[in-house]
Amino acid sequence: MRRKTARLLLSGGILAAVLSGGALALSGGDSLISLRELNEIFLPKAQTQMEERMNSALQSTYDQALAQSQGESGGGGGLYSADLRSRTFHQGDTLTLPAGSGVLALAGTGEVVHSGAFIDVTEGAEVPSGSRLTPGHRYLAGEDTSAVLSVRSGAMYLGLQGSYGYEPGGGDPMPFVDVAQGDWFQSAVEYVYGNGLFSGMSADRFSPGTTMNRAMLVTVFYRLAGSPEGELNAADASFTDVADGSWYAPFVRWGYVQGVTAGMGDGSFAPEQSVTRQQILVMLHSFARQYLKLTPTGTADLSIYGDGGQVAGWARDAVSWAVSAGLIVPSGEGTLRPADPASRAEVAAILMKFSSLYLYPFPASDIG
């Protein structure tokens, strides 16, 4: 508590200094300023200067504690870093942090187990053993402390200062900092990424919570079909809102010709529209029937779910089949959420389950 209080006092002192004597202080002439100048010019600059001075003071405190701890412990570990330069680690990697070692968590998920005192310098509080690090926070292994940091996400960016040991995890991990061991969608993301069905939204972000639009989804179905270029090149169809030069135009045409999608029913496709949970199930049902020439069987009584009556008439057969096959799992409240936008993680989970039921008889290399 005293550490947090001291930090608040530090913040107040810095703000007072900025307001009283910094570059933004009123000088000479008229001492009155307009409300607009106060809100739009003075206060934003004062806040910026306050944050810069707080960060400088925090860094100074961190460096002093680090130097003192390293002097007491005499260092240790097999590697050494003189600054908080960013390094990239991958899922399964472990780092041993002796007393005096400093860590800046930049992105990704890591879990620390320790004996002694592992300090969140940003918060001014001790971190319980077994906790996950918070991105943007700085940490310090205290006196007589030994800590082991395990990387749980596909990739993790860390700044390290002082001595540390490093043990690579091996394997070929995913590059994503936002997919970690223990996440409910981890195995689904591994499946769709490993089979080439999905790529990341960037080099190191999968963005599991981002909704998927209709153009993305029909492209995924093309990959799920084995990326048949002959069918893609031969497909001929047009929609009022799909330009010939757009990246998704060939995939939309392929999806229409193969019976995977019929568009919106008014001559449009709505490529940028987020796909709903019931829409993906209708397209998946059509893909199974029209493209794979399968006969999906099984039905579920949708009336037992709290929002079963909200399933659109055109989607009821597909949703009933999907529920019976376990492609979607009702929420803890007993709802299906048919009209909710589907996230990338949800779509990945649905496709992994579908593949396990209908596609595993085919070679995995034929998918994606």
Is 74's pLDDT higher than 50?
no
Query: How does residue 63 score in pLDDT terms, banded at 50, 70 and 90?
Result: low
Helix (H/G/I), strand (E/B), else coil: 240: coil
Candidate ranges 18-22, 32-36, 38-42, 257-261; pick with highest mean pLDDT:
257-261
Burial class (CB in 10 A: 0-12, 13-18, 19+), 42: middle
Nearest of 351, 341, 327, 342 to residue 193 by alpha carbon: 351
What mean pLDDT is predicted for residues 41-58? 54
Contact 319, 311 (CB under 8 A): yes
Is 52's pLDDT higher than 70?
no
pLDDT score at 39: 55
Q: Which residues have CB under 8 Å from 59's CB, separation 6+? A: none
pLDDT tens for residues 76-135? 346 877 777 778 898 889 999 999 889 999 988 999 999 989 999 999 999 999 999 999
Q: Which residues have CB under 8 Å from 334's CB, separation 6+? A: 304, 305, 306
pLDDT score at 71: 41
Spatial separation of the C-alpha atoms in residues 151 and 139, rounded to whole Å: 15
Contact 217, 275 (CB under 8 A): yes
Q: Which residues have CB under 8 Å from 2's CB, separation 6+? A: none
Strands 86-90 and 155-167, bridge-based pairing: antiparallel
pLDDT score at 35: 52
What mean pLDDT is predicted for residues 293-302? 91
pLDDT score at 300: 93
What mean pLDDT is predicted for residues 36-42? 55
pLDDT score at 72: 38
E strand intervals along the chain? 79-81, 86-90, 94-97, 102-107, 110-115, 118-120, 125-126, 131-132, 138-141, 146-151, 155-167
What mean pLDDT is predicted for residues 332-340? 90
Query: How does residue 55 score in pLDDT terms, banded at 50, 70 and 90?
Result: low
Q: What angle do CA 63, 67, 70 make, to 5 degrees?
A: 135
pLDDT score at 2: 37
Average pLDDT, the chain: 80
pLDDT tens for residues 220-275? 999 999 999 999 999 999 999 999 999 999 999 999 999 999 888 899 999 999 99
pLDDT score at 80: 78
pLDDT score at 84: 75
Burial class (CB in 10 A: 0-12, 13-18, 19+), 77: middle
Is 56's pLDDT higher than 90?
no
Nearest of 197, 203, 184 to residue 226 by alpha carbon: 197
Neighbours of 256 (CB within 10 A): 20
Q: Which residue has the higher pLDDT, 74 or 128?
A: 128
pLDDT score at 181: 86
What mean pLDDT is predicted for residues 1-14? 36
Between the CA of residue 181 and those of 65, 147, 155, 177, 340, what are the distances in Å? 32, 20, 11, 11, 26
Q: Which residues have CB under 8 Å from 163's CB, separation 6+? A: 70, 75, 76, 77, 78, 79, 80, 98, 100, 101
pLDDT score at 198: 92
pLDDT score at 46: 53
Tell me the domains of the chain and their CATH numbers: 79-167 (2.60.120), 186-366 (no CATH)
pLDDT score at 296: 87
pLDDT tens for residues 176-207? 999 998 899 999 998 999 888 999 999 999 99
Strands 86-90 and 102-107, bridge-based pairing: unpaired
Q: Which residues have CB under 8 Å from 314's CB, separation 6+? A: 282
Spatial separation of the C-alpha atoms in residues 263 and 269, rounded to whole Å: 4
Contact 134, 120 (CB under 8 A): yes
